[in-house]
Structure 1
Amino acid sequence: MKALIDFFPIVLFFLSYKLTNDMFLATGVAMASTAVQMLLMKWKKIPIQIMHWMSLVLIVVLGSMSIYFHETIFLKWKFSVLEWTMGAAILIGQYVFNKNMLKILLGHELHLSDEAWKKFGLMWAGFFIFLGTLNIYIAYNFSDDVWFNFKLYGSLGLILVFAIVQEAWLSKQLPKDE
C-alpha cells in the first residue's frame, strides 16, 4: 500500500502530461495529488518522512511559480533540488556529523565494513549530484517533451543501471556467509 501511495503523484503527473501534453495542467495535478498523498498517509497512519515533506513544499512552491509565471523551468528545478539535497545529506552526514545515512537506513540489512559504507555513501551521493545536474542540463537545453521523457525513461533507467552496478559492488563487499 505504501509503494502505491508513494508513486501516486508521480504516476498522475506523468499520465496527465502524456494525455494532455500540457505541463501546467500536469503540474497542477502533481500539486493536488501530492497533497492528497500526504492526507492518505496521515489517514492510513503511514509515517511521513522528511522527503515527503520536502517534495510537497517543492512541488507547491516551484509548481505554483511555474503556473503563475507560465514557465516550466521552475517545475524542472524541483527534481534537481531533491537529487542535490539527497546527495548533500549523505555527504554532510558522513563528513560533518560522522554519520553514514545509508548505514542508518540499510545497516540492519547489510553488514559492511566502515570503509565499504563510506564508499557506498560517496557513490550514491555522487550519483544523486550527477542526476540533479544532468536534469538541469536537459531542462535548459532541450524541449519540455525531451525533458519529460528523460524524467520518465532516462532518469529511471540510470537509477536502475546504477542500482545494478551497486548490487554487483555490494556483493563483493559483503562477508562470505551473506
Structure 2
Amino acid sequence: MELEHAPNDPTRKELSPLLKLALELGPLGVFFLFNARGEQLAASFPVLQAIGEPIFLATAAFMVAITISLTVSLWLTRRLPIMPLVSGVVVLVFGALTLWLHDELFIKLKPTIVNSLFGSVLLLGLVFGKALLGYVFDSAFRLTDEGWRKLTLRWGVFFFVLAAINEIVWRNFSTDFWVNFKVFGIMPITLLFTLSQLPLIQKHAILEDDEDD
C-alpha cells in the first residue's frame, strides 16, 4: 500500500472536494449521532445494549465509520493521506481501549494525543530544517521554502492549542458537552484558523509563470 504519491504522479487520483469532506467529517457525524441518540437506538436494537452507555456505543460506531472512510478513500484514490491514516489508527487503538476497559477516558484523550503528535512532528521537523507540512499540502498549492516554514510553524503551534483545548473541555465539562464541542467547536475553530492563513499562502505562493521563468 502506497501512502503518498509525488505531486505530479499521473497515477494519482483526486477525490472531489465534497466527497473528501464527507469522508473526513462523516465519522464525526456518526460519533455525534450515536452519542445523542444512543438510548433510543439501544431501545430499538436490543443487541446494542451490550455495548453500554451512549458514549461507548458512539465510540464503537466511530471506529466502524472511520474504518469505512479510510477503506473508501483507499479504494477510490489508491492511497491513504498521512494525517487521516494516523488519526484513524489512534481512533481504533484508543477506541478499543475505551470499549475493553469500559472507560471513556481513552476516547477523550484521542484528540490530545493526535494533535500533540502532529504538532511535535511538524515542530521537530523545523528543528532539523524540514518543513514537513509541505509534504502534506504540496498537491493543493505550491509555496516558497520560507512560506512552508512559516506555515509549518503556525500549524505546529495550532495543533498544540487544539490539544490544550481538548484537555480543558473534557476535564471541566460533561461528556455530552465534550462530544458536541468536538463536532461543532473544533471544526469551526480549525476552519477559521485555515482561512486566517490565506494571506500567508497568497504572499508566498509559487505561480506557474514564476516556475517557467
> Is residue 57 of structure 1 aligned with residue 89 of structure 2?
yes
Moved more, 131-140 or 8-17: 8-17
Residue in 1 that maps onto 2:79: 47
Q: TM (normalized to structure 1)?
A: 0.84
> Is residue 168 of structure 1 aligned with residue 186 of structure 2?
no
- Following the alignment from structure 1 to structure 2, what is the Cα–Cα distance between the partners of residues 16 and 79? 18
1:13-28 to structure 2, matched below 5 A, reads: 13-20=31-38, 22-28=54-60
- Following the alignment from structure 2 to structure 1, what is the Cα–Cα distance between the partners of residues 87 and 156? 18
When the two chains are superposed, the root-mean-square deviation of aligned CA atoms in Å is 2.5
- Following the alignment from structure 2 to structure 1, what is the Cα–Cα distance between the partners of residues 178 and 123? 27
- Following the alignment from structure 2 to structure 1, what is the Cα–Cα distance between the partners of residues 192 and 20? 24
1:74-85 to structure 2, matched below 5 A, reads: 74-85=106-117
> Is residue 6 of structure 1 aligned with residue 24 of structure 2?
yes
With over 3 angstroms needed to count, the CA separation of the structure-2 counterparts of 1:170 and 1:146, relative to structure 1, is same
1:117 to 136, 143, 148: 148
- Following the alignment from structure 1 to structure 2, what is the Cα–Cα distance between the partners of residues 51 and 120? 16
Tell whether the 8 Å contact from 1:24 to 1:70 is kept in structure 2 after alignment: yes
1:72-151 to structure 2, matched below 5 A, reads: 72-96=104-128, 98-107=129-138, 109-112=141-144, 114-151=145-182
With over 3 angstroms needed to count, the CA separation of the structure-2 counterparts of 1:156 and 1:42, relative to structure 1, is closer
- Structure of higher CA gyration radius: 2
- Following the alignment from structure 1 to structure 2, what is the Cα–Cα distance between the partners of residues 167 and 150? 25
Shift of 1:95: 1.6
With over 3 angstroms needed to count, the CA separation of the structure-2 counterparts of 1:137 and 1:40, relative to structure 1, is same
Shift of 1:137: 1.7
Name the SS for the 2:37 alignment partner.
helix
- Following the alignment from structure 2 to structure 1, what is the Cα–Cα distance between the partners of residues 70 and 137? 24
Tell whether the 8 Å contact from 1:80 to 1:131 is kept in structure 2 after alignment: yes
Tell whether the 8 Å contact from 1:2 to 1:46 is kept in structure 2 after alignment: no
Name the SS for the 1:37 alignment partner.
helix
- Following the alignment from structure 1 to structure 2, what is the Cα–Cα distance between the partners of residues 36 and 175? 36
Shift of 1:100: 0.9
Residue in 2 that maps onto 1:33: 65
Identity, % of aligned positions: 28
Shift of 1:174: 4.5
Superposed CA offset, 1:16-40 (max 9, x none) = 2222261110001011222223333
Runs of 5+ unmatched residues, structure 2: 1-18, 40-53
Superposed CA offset, 1:119-158 (max 9, x none) = 2111110001110111012111211122112111221121
Q: TM (normalized to structure 2)?
A: 0.71
Aligned length, in residue pairs: 176
If asked which structure has higher relative contact order (CA below 8 Å, sep 6+), I would say 2
Superposed CA offset, 1:82-137 (max 9, x none) = 111111121122222x221222333462333x333222111110001110111012
